[in-house]
Amino acid sequence: MTQHNSQIIVGLDIGTTKVCAIVGQMAENGKINVLGMGKAPSQGGVSRGMVANVSKAVQAIELAITEAVRQSQVSIKTVFVGIAGHHIKSLQHRGSLSRKMWDEEISQAELDTLESEMENLALSPGLEILHVLPQEYRIDNEDGIKDPVGRVGVRVECNYHIITGETSAAKTIFMAVRRAGLEVADLIVEPVASAAAVLSEPEMEAGVALVDIGGGTTDVCIFEDGFIRHTAIIPIAGDRITKDLQEAFGILKDQAEVVKTHYGSCYPTEAMKNEVVVVPGLPGRQPREISLYAISQVIRARVEDIISKVDFEIEVSGLRQRLAGGIVLTGGGSSMKDVTQLFNYQIGLEVHIGRPGQHLGKGMIEEVRNPMYATGIGLVMKGFELAAKTQLQLSQNEPLSNTTVGPEVSPSYDEDISEPLPIDDNPGKRQTWIQGVINWGKSMQDWVNEDFDDKMN
């Protein structure tokens, strides 16, 4: 077993609705064995993918880590942490290297030097580089080279996909993690992590758009010819849908979450008009009957809003005609009923759900095969990738003494977790239309309530 295979790496996904810690170990077959997993509700500590309340975020991190330690029996000291938020941007840059000894083979060290030079790019104040991702190389006059190591030439050039983020957002994450008694091994942009967990190499070669619908953000990562070509983070996701349902029907947040996950659909049908769901009323008030049709109308309006923004990012990438792999949906929001059909109808590309199971061994926690854990699994995978690339010793996460590694029970936290929602900063015609749907839902609810009260009397 190689050195990095014996390591234990922990991915920490600090999400808008939940904080999740996944403990992974590399198996001989290259799969990730999940030794333990802990999660806790964010409780308002995270908004739109960014840490908004450090103390609440620290509490959630501590709860998730405690559960992960209990299950895995691993002492956790360092974590690979995801970073998201609307401040994440990407740009393209070209680097070049002139070689004096053209007849000597190009080495990996030369490529690493060229890549490290990208870290010195001048950025706007308050921004920092999070990832430098090499794409195609060019040697002298030959384009489209994927691996120049071992070749010869005078001038080596490379196109880089560079992902940036706000320094303040990164520092806040470091602060929260350190206050929880942990060290950050590295920050990894969440759509990059999710892509590693759910996409196959053939998909990335053919061209594919990964769309991770989380609680506070919808992350987009577009691949073509095996390389990342475009990344974006949209600050609207599942919790905005929950908020819409709250406003439309005057129900509590937890009730809106249940209505969304268990009764909602992205495709309202005529048959739904004859079906209702009864929601308990506020203390001292009568229960409410809500039409499934009205619920789905509200959900569809917001999902179409998300889809329009995803479609815009695909258009900006300029790769719409080269996405033979279509769209892969993942994240907790991908579990909404009929969401793949609505994406296909609105964008016109093939759509399917991506799950992280293809990269997992038998493991001990089957729950992590759910799309909602794609980012956490991806963080573990990227951690191993970094350890292999840099040959760093990251063995601070070690099994506790005199214990057997492996969980015996599943996490005790509830599956449906939600938190206060971000405010949509992008009003406009579509926002007005969505508000119209919500108001329509309110008026229909008033009518249903009057009818329900008449029946009760």
User: Residue 206 contacts by C-beta under 8 Å, 6 or more apart in sequence?
Assistant: 323, 324, 325
What is the predicted pLDDT for the residue at 419?
34
What is the predicted pLDDT for the residue at 226?
93
pTM of the model: 0.83
Q: What CATH number did the domain enclosing 450 receive?
A: 3.30.420.40
User: Residue 143 contacts by C-beta under 8 Å, 6 or more apart in sequence?
Assistant: 136
* Residue 39 identity: K
Q: The domain containing residue 100 runs over which residues?
A: 89-164
Q: 223 with 154, same domain? A: no
Q: How many domains are there within the chain? A: 2
What is the predicted pLDDT for the residue at 423?
33
Among residues 217, 221, 182, 223, the alpha carbon closest in space to that of 81 is found at 182
pLDDT, tens digit, 9 for 90 and up, residues 15-72: 999 999 999 998 888 889 999 999 999 988 898 889 999 999 999 999 999 999 999 9
Q: 281 with 216, same domain? A: yes
Q: Confidence class of residue 443 from pLDDT cuts 50, 70 and 90?
A: low
Q: 325 with 439, same domain? A: yes
Residue 349 has pLDDT above 90, yes or no: yes
What is the predicted pLDDT for the residue at 402?
41
Q: 144 with 210, same domain? A: no
Instruction: Using alpha carbons, list the distances in angstroms from residue 319 to 22, 109, 143, 277, 313.
Output: 34, 32, 19, 43, 10
Q: 437 with 323, same domain? A: yes
Q: Is residue 118 part of a domain?
A: yes
Q: Confidence class of residue 386 from pLDDT cuts 50, 70 and 90?
A: confident
Q: Is residue 49 part of a domain?
A: no
Q: 245 with 310, same domain? A: yes
CB atoms within 10 A of CB 424: 17
Across the chain, mean pLDDT equals: 85
Q: Confidence class of residue 396 from pLDDT cuts 50, 70 and 90?
A: low
Q: 443 with 329, same domain? A: yes
Residue with the bigger pLDDT between 364 and 137: it is 137
Q: 130 with 274, same domain? A: no
Among residues 267, 363, 426, 108, the alpha carbon closest in space to that of 434 is found at 426
